[in-house]
Amino acid sequence: MRYFNCLTFIKFKYIITFIKFKYIINGDNLDKVILAFSGGLDTTVCAKLLEEKYNLGVITVCVDVGQPKEEIEKAKNVAEEIGVLKHYKIDAKEEFANDFLSKGIKANAVYEGYPLSTALARPLIAMKIIETAEKEGAVAIAHGCTGKGNDQFRFESIIRSMSDFKIIAPVRELNLTRTEEQDYARSHNIPLSPDSKFSIDENIWGRSIEGDVIEDPKNEVPQEAYEWVKSYTEANSSPEKVNIKFEGGVPIAINNEKMALIDLIAKTNEIAGNNGIGKIDIIEDRMVGLKSREVYEVPGATLLINAHRGLEELIFTKNELRFIDFISPLYSDLVYNALWQEPLREDLDKSIDYMQRRVTGNIVLNLYKGYISILSRESKFSLHDIKQISFEDKENDQREVEGMIKHHGIQATIYQKQKH
């Protein structure tokens, strides 16, 4: 009986040990970290570093804001191949369009000459990461940003202001170069898919391109870097008219076809891109103080913001237009500089939303070989009065303006006479 009990005890102990071992292997007993994941070199290396050097169980999250479908699938496949605890794919495209890009359109959000795209997406991605971290009971959130770019600010400012999660940035904390990351990946049998020689960030609003020969401003951007916008030689050979309808500052129809904002953006990306519109090559001032050569493809954004601004000219008073010209760069700076959570951004949104109630109407634009021109615009809120402006008008007596002219610039007149 004692012999039986002894064997039973040994067997039981073995089972418990095996369960514990399996528990450890599965990572269930490890503290969890949520990693913003793209499946590229940086985030793939980070996943292994978080396991090896930080002793954490890794859960990867890919937030879909309009990346190519193959990139979304790549992230899932790489996550499975390297054996993370769990992988989430979160579809946030419509939320991105309706809650973020609509604000960017209404604010004419352009930073140093290009419509903001990546900067508008990062707050939403960070919010989705926080939601997943709360759901999974994670102790930290990680990202693969380097210490030289803007995204580290954009992710961390949201995470710090909207949660109490610890933040881990392995590439920055370990001061890794890209070559060191590649060497680490090879030594740990991490799969490395043949990435583009350019560093690409893409969402439904825009595509940013940097790296390789583009880094040096003396080099021309190779045509192979572009995907959305045709070259002038390949663009449509004849002009194309586009009719865009706005309601409350947001585009709701194109060429008389009403559609959801996300679909309308896709349509304008195609139309403008085919007409060679939306290539932007600038020297950009990054948040860390560095100047960087940046290349963007923003065809739909360029078209829609031009259309929106053109309609505002018809509807707003002179002072309102000056006010918009003042707050649009301020709004764009806040978004670019990772201050989405700044109360002033919320205040500006309230003011912009109030003004945009009247930005309703139609505008027709002509697109040709990279150029946009306005052909016509109309709105029930138009401040343009054809009767008063017409040279054929006799109801407004032209002679009445004489008194106004006599007093116009009267102080300057007195000053000039004093000089003589």
Answer yes or no: is 256 within a domain: yes
Q: Region 296-304: what's the mean pLDDT?
A: 98
Whether residue 400 has pLDDT greater than 50: yes
Read off the CATH number of the domain in which 122 is found.
Answer: 3.40.50.620
Cα separation, 136 vs 134, whole angstroms: 6
Per-residue DSSP letter, 98 = I
When pLDDT is averaged across residues 249-267 and rounded to a whole number, the result is: 98
Does 296 score more than 80 pLDDT?
Answer: yes
Least confident of 18-32, 55-69, 253-267, 344-358: 18-32
Two tokens, residue 380: 């029930």
Do 221 and 363 belong together in one domain? yes
Q: pLDDT confidence of 25, banded at 50, 70, 90? A: very low
- Tell me whether residue 383 is in a domain: no
Q: What is residue 389's predicted lDDT score, i.e. its pLDDT?
A: 65
- 169-203 per-position pLDDT tens digit: 999 999 998 889 989 999 988 877 665 678 889 99
What is the set of active-site residues?
42, 122, 151, 199
DSSP reduced 3-state for 111:
strand
Q: Is 385 among the domain residues?
A: no
What is the number of domains present in the chain?
Answer: 3
Residue 406 is part of which domain span?
Answer: 390-419
384 within domain boundaries: no
**pLDDT for 329-383, tens place per residue?**
999 999 999 999 999 999 999 999 999 999 999 999 999 999 999 999 999 999 9
Per-residue pLDDT tens for 231-256? 999 999 999 999 999 999 999 999 99
- Please give the C-alpha separations between residue 273 and each of 100, 103, 178, 302, 372, in angstroms, as whole numbers: 22, 23, 32, 10, 12
**Which of 233, 215, 228, 307 has its CA nearest to residue 271?**
228
Tell me, yes or no, whether 12 and 134 share the same domain: yes
pLDDT at 10 over 60: no
